[in-house]
A and B are shown apart, each in its own frame.
Chain A
């Protein structure tokens, strides 16, 4: 679909909703503030519904569906690392112990960030399966076209030919 009038309209609605919501948060102590918050949330939900409605119009993207649970698990592991660090601060009193606990937490977060999450997203990466699945013939056609045209290295190779 690319950019469209609908996108612009719903983005405008999103900005209005956000502004009203913040107005409500700023005056949260008053009844007006609470009302504004509710109105703001309502407008934001309307904008979200609009975005959801026009999402399929974008057309076929190259990204394949990948395991959602694994993605969220990866994010959970990253967060767990922070919990380990904070827990360590309160369980250990010495500087050395706190440094070790923090390093342990960082290690856990890195495991989630650099191993679990990439594995989740790359499990069904489109570049592994280009030209494969019947259900994605449309994409396969354009991806193959891209490969054949060597658009990535087209410029430099053209220069080599010129030489």
Chain B
């Protein structure tokens, strides 16, 4: 009986074990993912090759040993796959390549934008260095606060006006949400006037590519705004400066930028009227610098010269800045930032002819160099001394002038453009001061206004037709080519741009600031001006321990 029971129990155990094993095996079979399907007959050899490469890629165990030579990191194993089990496909590889291209362009554009943002520091140093100690805090504060005023205005509405209709940029993924350009039909053609999408960067403009172009365009806009602060330094009411900066960032600058860069009517001169490739302004000699320089002239006229600048007979007194070291270091910072300004204006480093960034960077360097030589030689020969502040202005003038042509000209042309700019800035400073009787403490009207216009003109003369940014510019097939290389129509387009800058943008700036003159007033009181603006306008001295000793004490000490 016992033996029978044991036999039955043994049989039961065997049966239970068998059932358990069988059930587990069944469960495992059910839980296990489906085996990779056998490669269908339609898998291309390329896909097979990709999968073989994936099989040969370093394993995690390999990588855990470290990769000092960098030969194991970054392989096909890092390609994002839609189905990891199936392995990489051609579509995966293609998507990765496309994203890499846009990623390279995003990073390039953002870093260049960060460089341009740093130019604000250079402007602050140049402008404050060229003004007197008693106004240092006020001048620095204008350069500081213009960043906030401009950014706020550009976020609210400026960006929408400028880039609201700028869809179609292949470098940054298409910028497809920006499709709202308001046009007008004239003479049988449609002309873009202003954009109307992207307010507050909300709605459909909440897009990765839109954010990149916003940042880049915003810092450009702020560069234009800060030009005015230098020209009107030492006598401008801070409140009026603040209001006019907001308006300029919201309206004046974005309007012209739309016409040139946002799909507006100046960029359509080529497609609509056959004028070259339309108005071509690669990085903004016109859009940024002329707009800033011409606005500076308009405000300078209204605000008037500083007390003591001109004598009764109209002759001008030199007003010495307080820190030439700040001026020259500021110029270097600006020259550094310009490598973001010009090469960054390709809006990418990958595809669509963007490898020209090296040429653009060298053209920028060369024009700054020859601009410095032009100014130094002019001052040395004409005035007897290689004036430091004019040398700095020569560097900046060369950089301003090459900004528009930098994407279209050769190195020798860049050198010529810069050299002309260096001489031109000296002549222009003298003209503005001695003929117009306009007081511009830092020479901003000449550096940015005069040379900005020269840069726009230089495109129409020196563009050599070798650049190829995706095969067309402003929707016209071919490369931008100037008069010296056989295309007179490009010069005509550039002249229309210059005329628009002077006729429309200057007038608009003038009208806005005249209204502000009636409502708020631009000029500080004579008492504030004589005491320096640091205390009355800012409530704090820039250099509280920096006290001038009276002249007799100075003499006695000697």
Interface residues of A (CB under 8 A from B): 1-3, 7, 10-11, 14-15, 18-19, 22-23, 25-26, 48, 51-52, 55, 58-63, 71-72, 75, 78-83, 85-86, 89-90, 95-96, 98-99, 102-103, 105-106, 109-110, 113-114, 117-118, 121-122, 125-128, 130, 138-139, 142-143, 145-147, 151-159, 161-163
Q: Once the chains bind, are A130 and B301 in contact (CB under 8 Å)?
A: no
Chain B 303-319: CB-based contact to A (< 8 A → 1; otherwise 0): 11101111110100111
Other-chain contact of B502, A2, A78, A103 (Cβ < 8 Å): A78
Q: Once the chains bind, are B537 and A3 in contact (CB under 8 Å)?
A: yes
Other-chain contact of A55, B301, B521, B537, B551 (Cβ < 8 Å): B521
How far, in whole Å, are A147 and B309 apart by their CA atoms in the complex?
10
How far, in whole Å, are A152 and B309 apart by their CA atoms in the complex?
8
Other-chain contact of A79, B157, B304, B319, B507 (Cβ < 8 Å): B507
- Assuming the contacts A62-B523, A114-B436, A162-B557, asked whether A15 and B152 have C-beta atoms less than 8 A apart, the reply is yes
Chain B 273-313: CB-based contact to A (< 8 A → 1; otherwise 0): 10100000000000000000000010001111101111110
How far, in whole Å, are A157 and B558 apart by their CA atoms in the complex?
13
Chain B 236-251: CB-based contact to A (< 8 A → 1; otherwise 0): 0111001100100010
Find the A residue at minimum CB distance from B498: A106
Chain B 427-439: CB-based contact to A (< 8 A → 1; otherwise 0): 0000000011110
- Kindly list chain A residues whose C-beta atoms are within 8 Å of the C-beta of B520: 51-52, 55
Chain B 493-519: CB-based contact to A (< 8 A → 1; otherwise 0): 001101110111011001100100001
Q: Once the chains bind, are A128 and B239 in contact (CB under 8 Å)?
A: no
- Kindly list chain B residues whose C-beta atoms are within 8 Å of the C-beta of A153: 317-318, 320
- Kindly list chain B residues whose C-beta atoms are within 8 Å of the C-beta of A157: 551
Q: Once the chains bind, are B310 and A82 in contact (CB under 8 Å)?
A: no
Which one of B435, B496, B499, B500 has the highest number of Cβ atoms from chain A below 10 Å of its Cβ? B499
- Kindly list chain A residues whose C-beta atoms are within 8 Å of the C-beta of B507: 75, 78-79, 82
How far, in whole Å, are A91 and B512 apart by their CA atoms in the complex?
32
Other-chain contact of A3, B238, B318, B514 (Cβ < 8 Å): B238
- Assuming the contacts A106-B498, A113-B297, asked whether A59 and B525 have C-beta atoms less than 8 A apart, the reply is yes
- 29 examples of A-B residue contacts, CB within 8 angstroms: A2-B537, A3-B536, A7-B239, A15-B152, A18-B246, A25-B157, A26-B199, A26-B200, A58-B525, A60-B525, A62-B526, A62-B529, A79-B503, A82-B500, A82-B504, A95-B275, A95-B489, A99-B495, A102-B492, A102-B498, A122-B437, A127-B310, A138-B526, A146-B308, A146-B530, A152-B309, A152-B319, A154-B551, A162-B555
- Assuming the contacts A113-B506, A152-B308, asked whether A11 and B527 have C-beta atoms less than 8 A apart, the reply is no
CB distance from B538 to the nearest CB of A (A): 7
Q: Once the chains bind, are A113 and B437 in contact (CB under 8 Å)?
A: no
CB distance from B286 to the nearest CB of A (A): 13
Q: Once the chains bind, are A109 and B523 in contact (CB under 8 Å)?
A: no
How far, in whole Å, are A159 and B548 apart by their CA atoms in the complex?
11
B193-243, CB < 8 A from A: 199-200, 202, 237-239, 242-243
- Kindly list chain A residues whose C-beta atoms are within 8 Å of the C-beta of B275: 95, 98
CB distance from B524 to the nearest CB of A (A): 7
- Kindly list chain B residues whose C-beta atoms are within 8 Å of the C-beta of A11: 239, 242-243
- Assuming the contacts A55-B521, A95-B489, A152-B308, asked whether A142 and B527 have C-beta atoms less than 8 A apart, the reply is yes
**CB of B488 within 8 Å of the partner chain:** yes
**CB of B539 within 8 Å of the partner chain:** yes
Chain B 459-499: CB-based contact to A (< 8 A → 1; otherwise 0): 00000000000000000000000000000110110011011
Q: Once the chains bind, are A128 and B312 in contact (CB under 8 Å)?
A: yes
- Kindly list chain A residues whose C-beta atoms are within 8 Å of the C-beta of B502: 78, 81-82, 106, 109-110, 113
- Assuming the contacts A58-B237, A58-B524, A152-B308, asked whether A109 and B499 have C-beta atoms less than 8 A apart, the reply is yes
